């Protein structure tokens, strides 16, 4: 594998970002042109009253209509870029419910980022995150399949809680109350398996 330096990656990222930004208005203009062609073809726009006849399509009228919409599309894309440039961070934070991450509430993540910044000689960035947790399940697992096949079954709730606690245990210890409930639930599941 070829070594690529950080400056090469930054230049590649900047080049790709510029290409994406330039392609956005082009794609919008192409979609507007296609929409104008369809409207002309259906006789809903322009002087063409002969519906569904591609031979009678007035391409000069289509192109004239398209040329008249170009400034409006450019203005719309410019407004979109302006809103995205100035409000992107606040939109993402409000959509995700992210808040500032502090050393007190999440010391592990804070220390990792702080150590990486010290290694690179960077200033510590403002970190944001949410309090939610994501549970990823293997849908092919027999126990998960059992719950998915019968979500309102007699033992579905207890199995779901057990699956969640097992996944949580893989990353962090349970607090005292949750561990007590986990042990009691484990005993209950073993009694169910034993048929008692």
For 138-184, write each residue's pLDDT tens digit.
778 888 888 888 878 787 888 888 888 888 787 777 788 888 998 99
**Both tokens of residue 167?**
């996944």
Q: 89, 93, 84: which is closest to 21 by C-alpha?
A: 84
Which percentage of the chain shows pLDDT scores above 90? 22
State residue 48's pLDDT score: 47
State residue 25's pLDDT score: 93
What is the C-alpha separation between 182 and 184, in angstroms, rounded?
6
Does residue 134 carry a pLDDT above 70? Answer: no
Does residue 29 carry a pLDDT above 90? Answer: yes
For 33-47, write each residue's pLDDT tens digit.
999 999 888 877 765
Choice among 14-28, 82-96, 116-130, 143-157 with the minimum mean pLDDT: 116-130
- CA distances, 1 to each of 4, 5, 8 (Å): 9, 13, 15
pTM: 0.49
- Please answer whether residues 11 and 18 qualify as being in contact, where contact means their C-beta atoms are separated by less than 8 angstroms: no
More confident call, 50 vs 56:
56
Count the neighbouring beta carbons within 10 Å of the beta carbon of residue 164: 14
Angle at 5 between CA 89 and CA 21, to 5 degrees: 40
Which are the contacts of 87, defined by CB distance < 8 A and separation ≥ 6? none
State residue 27's pLDDT score: 95
Q: 61, 60, 62, 75: which is closest to 28 by C-alpha?
A: 75
User: Per-residue pLDDT averaged across 68-95, rounded?
Assistant: 89
Does residue 87 carry a pLDDT above 60? Answer: yes
**Both tokens of residue 180?**
């007590």
State residue 3's pLDDT score: 60
Which runs of consecutive H residues, i.e. helices, occur in the chain?
6-41, 59-96, 107-120, 142-149, 156-169, 176-194
For 101-129, write each residue's pLDDT tens digit.
777 877 777 777 888 778 777 777 777 77
State residue 140's pLDDT score: 83
User: Per-residue pLDDT averaged across 59-81, rounded?
Assistant: 92
């Amino acid at each position: 594998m070829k070594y690529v330096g950080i400056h090469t990656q930054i230049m590649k990222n900047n080049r790709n970002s510029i290409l994406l930004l330039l392609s956005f208005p082009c794609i919008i203009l192409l979609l507007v042109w296609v929409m104008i062609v369809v409207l002309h073809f259906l006789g809903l726009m322009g002087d063409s009253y002969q519906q569904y006849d591609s031979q009678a399509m007035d391409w000069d009228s289509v192109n004239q209509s398209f040329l008249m919409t170009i400034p409006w599309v450019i203005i719309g894309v410019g407004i979109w870029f302006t809103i995205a440039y100035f409000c992107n961070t606040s939109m993402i934070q409000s959509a995700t419910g992210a808040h500032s991450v502090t050393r007190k509430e999440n010391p592990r993540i804070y220390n990792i980022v702080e150590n990486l910044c010290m290694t690179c000689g960077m200033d510590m960035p403002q970190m944001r995150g949410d309090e939610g947790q994501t549970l990823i399940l293997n849908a092919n697992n027999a126990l998960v399949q059992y719950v998915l096949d019968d979500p309102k079954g007699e033992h579905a709730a207890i199995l779901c809680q057990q699956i969640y606690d097992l996944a949580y245990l893989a990353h962090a210890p349970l607090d005292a109350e949750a561990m007590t409930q986990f042990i009691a639930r484990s005993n209950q599941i073993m009694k169910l398996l034993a048929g008692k």
